[in-house]
Each structure stands twice: as structure tokens, then as C-alpha cells.
């Protein structure tokens, strides 16, 4: 029965970001077919940040009306919306609408915004829901969240997304009779990119994403109503809409702390120590709570926005193989870090700080190679290729471990702590995206930074 709950928690977590992750990996197949072209990634970045209105609403409700918002109806709503939006995307992603004198992919952009609301809001609803289960299942949830990026990438790899050959424009025209629909127009003698047909269409891929959201919804239903899962819950009636119930839950979570940590909350004569802060159970002091949330925002800014935006600049100079290896190994490193955290949940704040410094060091090297692109260090050597791939893998591995451990720590601080955890995750990601966004729209700035 424990295995069933672990599987359901993983499938539930997999639905958190699978839709938007799927959109990103499908871009090479979508872009040649729509009027926005390669401006679409920039539009997606803006839409995702606008979708933070969802997490903002949930966070403000918990802040000013504590105990009044039950996350379960919200989860049903957003996952159901995700199922419908991905299904409609399969049939309307190529449709265009005349707007301001030009054709635009309005259905695609609207549906992408709705999916962004779904995924962003999941950060502040899925995590608090996991408070209803035992602490061991939170790590499994993070494994599923990591797999939400890996699974679409693997399916896109099977699909053959982005396979392109460079041909002489004249040769391509003679071979095809005319230039192909997916080919860029070039003068005679110029090289042009010719995209190879995918093994299956974007419509099939979006239907697959819709099926993944259905699986997430089914897992959520079973986590709520399956009798075996009900026996795994700490308490049958977790949420009754009162703040006192939440405080009771926070106090109850103290019993889940590792044995070696209990003397830190109780004195030798058996009397409990005074609360060190007003946050959660009071186990952590104010400066420690600030440290935890600053690290959480910093780590998510790097892993979700800053470094992914320069991944192509840092890897492509070393060749396509290096780029694909870096993307693949980084996607695998995330769930691997969650598995490590499952068996080695080291909650030391000192260790968290050290791992953050190490992960930031790897990120600094990656950013430096992106800044030196197209001529980074060791660009024509096998060692340079190996270093950049390993740097990406260790960067994701160390900082993903930090994210999971912080989630485990905040879970012991109660329901509201996990709400703030999700809010800070979104805040860090938003600040990271906004810091890199000008590089897409202001070439002078990008040229000045040599990115």
C-alpha cells in the first residue's frame, strides 16, 4: 500500500509542470508553422510571468484569510483546465486570427497562457496538499516534478523534433522542385535550414500531454479517495477551515523530525524550548527562516530561468552532441537528486549553504562559457565538451537536492510554510526570467554582455 501511495504521489507531481515543459520541447516543430516564428519563446516567457496572478491570489488568500482556502477544489479546477487546454491545443495550435493588420496565433497564445496559470498555480497548491500525507511522500512528489521535464523531452526525442539539415539553396530547390514549406528562403549558393519531418505530428504530442494531465487528475482522485491511501494519512480530517487546526498540524509535525533533532526542540528535563520565531513551529529563528527562503529563491532563479536561457550559448559551440548531452543529463539529474534526497535527507542549513555555493560555482562557469560564446574555453577539445556537460549535470544535481531538502524542512513547519515555499519558488523564477528577458529584446545590452 505504501508503494501505491508513492506511485500516486509521483504521478501527481508529474502533472505539475508537464504542460509547459512540453511546450518548450515542441517549439522546433511549432515555430516554422506559425506567423510569430522564433518570437514565440519570448511571448511564452511573458505569458508565464503574467500567469503568476494565480499563485499571487492563492498566497494572498492564505496570508489575509488563513484557513479559508481549501486547496483541493483549486487543484481539481486547474488540473481539469490543463486537461481541456492541452486537448484544445492539439486541434487549434495552427489556427491564426487577423489582429492589428497581421495574422497572429491567438488560440495558441491564449491556451499557452491558461496552461501557464495551471502550472504556476500548482506550485502553491500541490505542495500544501502533500501535507495531508506522510513526510516520506513529499520527496516522491519532487521526483515526479522532476520527471515532468524528462518525460516530454524523451517523447520529443522519439518524435524527432528539431532535426535539421543545412543544404545549398539551389540544391534544395532542385531536389524539391520548390523550396519546402519548412525551409528558410535563401539566395542561390547560400546554405538554408531544412527541417526534417517528425515521426508523429504536434497534434499527437499535445494529445499525449492531455493524457498526462488526465493521469495527474486520476492520481489526485486516488490520493483523496482510495482506502489504502486514506490509511497512510497522518490524520483523517486534515483541513477543517480553522487556523487552530493548522496550528495543531504544525505541532503534530514535530513528531516527524529525525531522532537526533528532537533535543533541539526539547530541553533535557523534558520541557519544550521557547519558540525561536513566529514562523511555523518556531523551530527555526528569524534569520534562519530568511536564509532558507533567500536560498530557495536564488536556486529557483538559477535553475528555472537564468541558466536555461543561456544553455544553447554555453553548449552549442562545443557541437550539437554536447548540447543534446547537456540537456539530457540535466533532465536526468533532477529526479536523481530527488532519489538521493529520499535516502539521504540531510537537513543541515550549513550543508544547504555549501551545496548552494558549489552549485552556483558550476552555474558561474556555465555563464562564463555562454559569455565567451562562440569561442569559449577548450572549444575544440574533447575535454571542453566533457567539462561543459558535467558542469550542467552537477549544477542541476546539487541545486535540485537543495530545493528538495528545503521542501522537506518547510513541510515540517506546517501547511502555510509549504504555501510560502511555492510562492517563493515562483517569485525566484519570475525574478530570474525578468533579469534575462531584456537580453532577448535589447541586442545592444546582449552585445555589451557578449551573450
Using the 8-state DSSP alphabet, how is residue 309 labeled? G
| Tens-place pLDDT, residues 58-111 | 888 888 887 788 889 999 999 999 999 999 999 998 888 888 778 888 899 999
Q: 189: helix, coil or strand?
A: coil
pLDDT at 276: 66
Confidence at 440, pLDDT banded by 50, 70, 90: low
Q: Which residues, in sequence order, are bridge partners of residue 102?
A: 99
Confidence at 420, pLDDT banded by 50, 70, 90: confident
CB 289 within 8 A of CB 277: yes
Confidence at 154, pLDDT banded by 50, 70, 90: confident
Q: 249: helix, coil or strand?
A: helix
- Residue among 310, 321, 451, 312 at smallest CA distance from 382: 321
Domains of the chain plus CATH, in order, are 1-169+199-230 (1.20.1250.20), 283-450 (1.20.1250.20)
Whether 178 has a pLDDT exceeding 90, the answer reads no
Q: Which residues, in sequence order, are bridge partners of residue 271?
A: none
Q: Indicate the average pLDDT of the chain.
A: 80
- Extract the C-alpha cell encoding 439: 537580453
Whether 406 has a pLDDT exceeding 50, the answer reads yes
| Tens-place pLDDT, residues 423-432 | 899 898 888 8
Higher-pLDDT residue of 195 and 227 is: 227
pTM score of the predicted model: 0.76
> H or E segment at 98?
strand 97-99
Residues 403, 16: Cα–Cα separation, whole Å: 16
pLDDT at 24: 83
Residues 122, 126: Cα–Cα separation, whole Å: 5
Q: 168: helix, coil or strand?
A: strand
Using the 8-state DSSP alphabet, how is residue 266 labeled? B
| Tens-place pLDDT, residues 98-152 | 887 788 888 999 999 999 999 999 988 998 898 888 888 888 998 898 888 889 8
Sequence length of the chain is: 451
- Residue among 34, 321, 12 at smallest CA distance from 202: 34
> H or E segment at 104?
strand 102-104
Q: Which residues, in sequence order, are bridge partners of residue 164?
A: 195
Whether 449 has a pLDDT exceeding 50, the answer reads no
- Residue among 237, 231, 158 at smallest CA distance from 199: 158
| Tens-place pLDDT, residues 309-357 | 788 788 888 887 788 788 888 888 888 998 898 888 888 899 999 999 9
Taking the CA of residue 41 as centre, how many other CA atoms within 13 Å lie in the half-sphere pointing to its CB? 18
Whether 208 has a pLDDT exceeding 70, the answer reads yes
- Residue among 358, 386, 373 at smallest CA distance from 310: 373
Amino acid at each position: 500500500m505504501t508503494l501505491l501511495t508513492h506511485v500516486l504521489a509521483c504521478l501527481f507531481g508529474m502533472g505539475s509542470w508537464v504542460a509547459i515543459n512540453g511546450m518548450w520541447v515542441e517549439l522546433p516543430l511549432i515555430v516554422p508553422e506559425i506567423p510569430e516564428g522564433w518570437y514565440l519563446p519570448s511571448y511564452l516567457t511573458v505569458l508565464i510571468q503574467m500567469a503568476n496572478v494565480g499563485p499571487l491570489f492563492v498566497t494572498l488568500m492564505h496570508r489575509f484569510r488563513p484557513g479559508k482556502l481549501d486547496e483541493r477544489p483549486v487543484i481539481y479546477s486547474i488540473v481539469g483546465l490543463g486537461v481541456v487546454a492541452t486537448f484544445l491545443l492539439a486541434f487549434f495550435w495552427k489556427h491564426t486570427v487577423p489582429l492589428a493588420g497581421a495574422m497572429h496565433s491567438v488560440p495558441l497564445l491564449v491556451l499557452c497562457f491558461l496552461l501557464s496559470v495551471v502550472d504556476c498555480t500548482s506550485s502553491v497548491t500541490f505542495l500544501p496538499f502533500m501535507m495531508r500525507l506522510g513526510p516520506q511522500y513529499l520527496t516522491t512528489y519532487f521526483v515526479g516534478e522532476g520527471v515532468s521535464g524528462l518525460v516530454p523531452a524523451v517523447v520529443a526525442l522519439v518524435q524527432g523534433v528539431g532535426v535539421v539539415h543545412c543544404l545549398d539553396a539551389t540544391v534544395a530547390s532542385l531536389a524539391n522542385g520548390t523550396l519546402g514549406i519548412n525551409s528558410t528562403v535563401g539566395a542561390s549558393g547560400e546554405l538554408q535550414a531544412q527541417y526534417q519531418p517528425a515521426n508523429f505530428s504536434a497534434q499527437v504530442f499535445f494529445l499525449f500531454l492531455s493524457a498526462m494531465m488526465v493521469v495527474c487528475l486520476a492520481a489526485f482522485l486516488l490520493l483523496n479517495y482510495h482506502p489504502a491511501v486514506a490509511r497512510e494519512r497522518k490524520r483523517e480530517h486534515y483541513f477543517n477551515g480553522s487556523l487552530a487546526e493548522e496550528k495543531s498540524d504544525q505541532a503534530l509535525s514535530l513528531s516527524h523530525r529525525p531522532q537526533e533533532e528532537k533535543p533541539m526542540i526539547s530541553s533535557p528535563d523534558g520541557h519544550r524550548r521557547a519558540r525561536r520565531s513566529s514562523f511555523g513551529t518556531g523551530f527555526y529563528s528569524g534569520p534562519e527562516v530568511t536564509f532558507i527562503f533567500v536560498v530557495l529563491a536564488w536556486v529557483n532563479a538559477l535553475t528555472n530561468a537564468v541558466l536555461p536561457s543561456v544553455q544553447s550559448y554555453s553548449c552549442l559551440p562545443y557541437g550539437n552532441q554536447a548540447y543534446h548531452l547537456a540537456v539530457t543529463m540535466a533532465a536526468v539529474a533532477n529526479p536523481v537528486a530527488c532519489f538521493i534526497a529520499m535516502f539521504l535527507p540531510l537537513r543541515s542549513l550549513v550543508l544547504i549553504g555549501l551545496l548552494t555555493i558549489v552549485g552556483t560555482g558550476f552555474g558561474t562557469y556555465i555563464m562564463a562559457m555562454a559569455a565567451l560564446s562562440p569561442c569559449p574555453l577548450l572549444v575544440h577539445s574533447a575535454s571542453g565538451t566533457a567539462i561543459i556537460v558535467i558542469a550542467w549535470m552537477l549544477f542541476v544535481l546539487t541545486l535540485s537536492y537543495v530545493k528538495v531538502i528545503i521542501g522537506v524542512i518547510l513541510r515540517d513547519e506546517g501547511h502555510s510554510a509549504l504555501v510560502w515555499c511555492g510562492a517563493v519558488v515562483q517569485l525566484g523564477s519570475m525574478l530570474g526570467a525578468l533579469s534575462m528577458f531584456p537580453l532577448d529584446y535589447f541586442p545592444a545590452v546582449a552585445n555589451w554582455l557578449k551573450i
